[in-house]
Structure formats: C-alpha cells, structure tokens
C-alpha cells in the first residue's frame, strides 16, 4: 500500500473515530451506560470481523484462530476496551476536542518513548524534531483543556 493511501486511511479512521465516539455517547445514554455501549460496539465488531474472516478464509478461519491463541492475546482487547471507555466518558464529560487532545498527546508521548526504547541510542535529528512536535502537541492539549 503506498504511503499516500496509508495516510488517507489513517485520516479517514481519525475522522470516523470522532463520529463513532459521539454515537457511542448516544448509545450509552439510551442504554444502561457506557458498558452497554461497549458491549454493543464489541458485538458488532465480532460479527463484522467474523463475516470478513469466514468469507476470506472459510471454516478454517475459526479453527486456525483458536489454535494460535496465546494468553497475552487478551491484552489488546483489554487496552481497546479501556480506550473506548475513556473516549466515551471523555466525550460525555469534557467534550470531543478536549478528549481528543488528551488522547493524542498521551499517544504521541508514549509512542516516542516506545520508539526510544526500541532504539535507545537513536537520538538523531529526527528524534529531536519529533520531540519538539510532541512538546508543541502537549502544549496545544493544555490550551484546548484550559
């Protein structure tokens, strides 16, 4: 996939996430709360992913997936659930812009630390440029949340 298509996909996903979270707030308001909204979201995801998996790989999809399971495969689901719960709670309590600013700033700072841990001595010009961008983004986050 060319870089321009990846950038477009990421931008589309970012825009979609704003609308998904607004809809999740509405689902949470119409149901017993954010946990119910998370359950509906997860059920839709499971059905959609299952349909695509079975259409591409046939009945071997389920057997191959189950045979490959490891204990730590649950961690992304837990982290994703926390992310969605935090997003829905943030949208409902402090608004979309403030929630997004905090999430993005936290993701960027954590991403920089993960990259640095992967290559501890990679403090080249690119690292310092990214660090400057992260500082500006965190500053923007603080301004949005004033």
What percent of the chain clears pLDDT 70, i.e. is strictly above it? 99
Q: How is residue 54 written in tokens?
A: 């079975």
Q: Give the pLDDT of residue 125.
A: 79
Determine how many CB atoms are found less than 10 A away from the CB of residue 71: 6
Q: Is the pLDDT at 122 greater than 80, yes or no?
A: no
Measure the CA–CA gap between 99 and 120, rounded to whole angstroms. Answer: 31
User: Residue 50: enclosing H or E segment and its boundaries?
Assistant: helix 34-57
Angle at 78 between CA 35 and CA 66, to 5 degrees: 110
Q: Do 52 and 44 meet the contact criterion of CB atoms below 8 Å apart?
A: no
| Whole-number pLDDT of residue 94 | 93
Q: What is the pLDDT of residues 70-95, one digit of tens each?
A: 999 999 999 999 999 999 999 999 99
* Amino acid 118: pLDDT: 85
In this predicted structure, the answer to whether residue 112 has a pLDDT above a threshold of 90 is no
pTM, to two decimals: 0.79
Would you state the pLDDT for residue 126?
81
φ/ψ bin of 95: left (φ > 0), alpha (ψ from -120 to 50), beta (otherwise): left
């Amino acid at each position: 996939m060319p870089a321009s298509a990846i950038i477009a996909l990421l931008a589309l996903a970012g825009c979609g996430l704003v609308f998904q979270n607004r809809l999740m707030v509405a689902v949470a308001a119409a149901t017993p709360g954010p946990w119910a909204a998370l359950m509906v979201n997860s059920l839709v995801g499971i059905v959609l992913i299952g349909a695509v998996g079975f259409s591409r790989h046939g009945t071997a999809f389920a057997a191959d997936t189950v045979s490959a399971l490891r204990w730590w495969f649950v961690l992304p689901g837990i982290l994703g659930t926390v992310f969605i719960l935090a997003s829905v709670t943030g949208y409902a309590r402090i608004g979309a812009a403030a929630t997004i600013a905090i999430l993005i700033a936290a993701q960027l700072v954590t991403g920089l630390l993960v990259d640095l841990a992967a290559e501890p001595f990679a403090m080249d010009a690119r690292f310092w440029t990214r660090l400057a961008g992260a500082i500006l983004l965190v500053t923007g986050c603080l301004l949005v949340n004033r």
